[in-house]
Structure 1
């Protein structure tokens, strides 16, 4: 089944050769890396939206070292239990989680607003349909998706409701209250705990909370991995430069990663 939607006329797209086309003859070429750009100029608010090249490279290096493998396995295992046909990963970034999700479904679409992230992701798994696109207009057709996933990404609620089938699923992964607390203590004068429960309140009118779990792991970070972790997060620009420089001099740091995973069902 073709899931993609033309961002101009909102008709279905069909892959013909190396180009996605709609009935109105709007067409979008598949890049040599294997992705398609459906983020049209009229929807852009900046020239290069999304994560920077440096942030994407740092995340690729950090995740490739396996530090968040426990979370990846928990996500993939839960998806497998749902026994679904397709999913849309919103804000897929450089694809670490998305490429593993593909093994559990027939069709997996990974979408991110950052073209440089999708270019990296497209090299991981050619079975995934990689798309440069925006959550403001998710690039898939109405009521065609079994599961939307949002891992550390925005949750465009109305668009998710549009694309999900009746009684379909939404998985949200967000930092648990104590996530990377020691790291944040070193970077900020005042540390606030994360508040994952806010998503329950935001979604309760349209979704039923079916399941929740906390996934944790201890990270023993070398200097290189520590620098990559900082660079791939908003801490890189939110922390005071002198605090960041001081922390990045450490040769070894042990921190606890703690993730809150929610599974919702569309009412």
Structure 2
């Protein structure tokens, strides 16, 4: 079964050769890189929304080096035990996690608002349906999806509820309390712990918490890896320039990534 929905009339899209088309004859061509753009002009709030090309390339370089592999493995293991058929990864970025998650399902959709990120992702895995789109209107049909995942991305709750099957799952990954504390401490005068449990409260009306997992990933970063990590986070533009420069000059830097994984189930 196809999962994609026309963002204009909300009817099912069908792929014929290299064009997705709905019954209302709205059509969307598959780009040569292998993705489809379903982020229509009337839904855009800026010309180039989402991550910058520099941030995408920094994230690709950093994640490819394996520093966040413990999180990737934990997410894949969790999905494996669900025995589901399909998923949509909301805010898939350049595809590092989506690529791995795809191996556990028959159908996988990766969606991100940043076209430059999806262009990079589409080169990773031809078995993923890569989509430029917005969480405000998830590009999938009503009650068609077994699992929605949001890793460090927004959680459009009402759209997720619409897209999920009756007993579907929501997988949320967010920074745990101590995530990158040493780096934030070097970049900012005042550092507050992350508060991942706020999502449990926010989602409690429509979702039941099934799993609660914390993953630690200690690491020692060389200078270029550290620069890539800074560049792929919001800290790149939030920190004072002199503090960022001082941190980027370090040859070796020890810190710990800490991830909070929540698995929710849609309430009946």
Same fold flag (TM > 0.5) = yes
C-alpha deviation, 1:217, in angstroms: 1.2
Q: How does 1:218-233 map to 2 (within 5 A)?
A: 218-233=218-233
Question: Does 2:35 correspond to 1:48?
Answer: no
- What residue in structure 2 maps to residue 151 of structure 1? 151
- What residue in structure 1 maps to residue 23 of structure 2? 23
Runs of 4+ in 1 over 2 A off after TM superposition: none
Q: Following the alignment from structure 1 to structure 2, what is the Cα–Cα distance between the partners of residues 79 and 180?
A: 26
- What residue in structure 1 maps to residue 85 of structure 2? 85
TM-score (norm 1): 1.00
- What residue in structure 1 maps to residue 216 of structure 2? 216
- What residue in structure 2 maps to residue 236 of structure 1? 236
Note the aligned Cα RMSD (angstroms).
Answer: 0.3
Q: Following the alignment from structure 1 to structure 2, what is the Cα–Cα distance between the partners of residues 126 and 192?
A: 41
**SS at the partner of 1:79?**
helix
CA deviations over 1:125-160 (Å, ceiling 9, x no partner): 000000000000000000000000000000000000
TM-score (norm 2): 0.99
Q: How does 1:108-257 map to 2 (within 5 A)?
A: 108-257=108-257
Give the gaps of 5 or more residues in structure 2: none
CA deviations over 1:62-84 (Å, ceiling 9, x no partner): 00000000100000000000000
C-alpha deviation, 1:8, in angstroms: 0.5
CA deviations over 1:2-42 (Å, ceiling 9, x no partner): 10000000000000010000001100000000000000000
- What residue in structure 2 maps to residue 101 of structure 1? 101
CA deviations over 1:201-232 (Å, ceiling 9, x no partner): 10000000011010001111000000000000
Number of residues of Structure 1 aligned to a counterpart in Structure 2: 267
Q: Following the alignment from structure 1 to structure 2, what is the Cα–Cα distance between the partners of residues 196 and 231?
A: 23
C-alpha deviation, 1:178, in angstroms: 0.5
**SS at the partner of 2:189?**
coil
Q: Following the alignment from structure 2 to structure 1, what is the Cα–Cα distance between the partners of residues 220 and 71?
A: 16
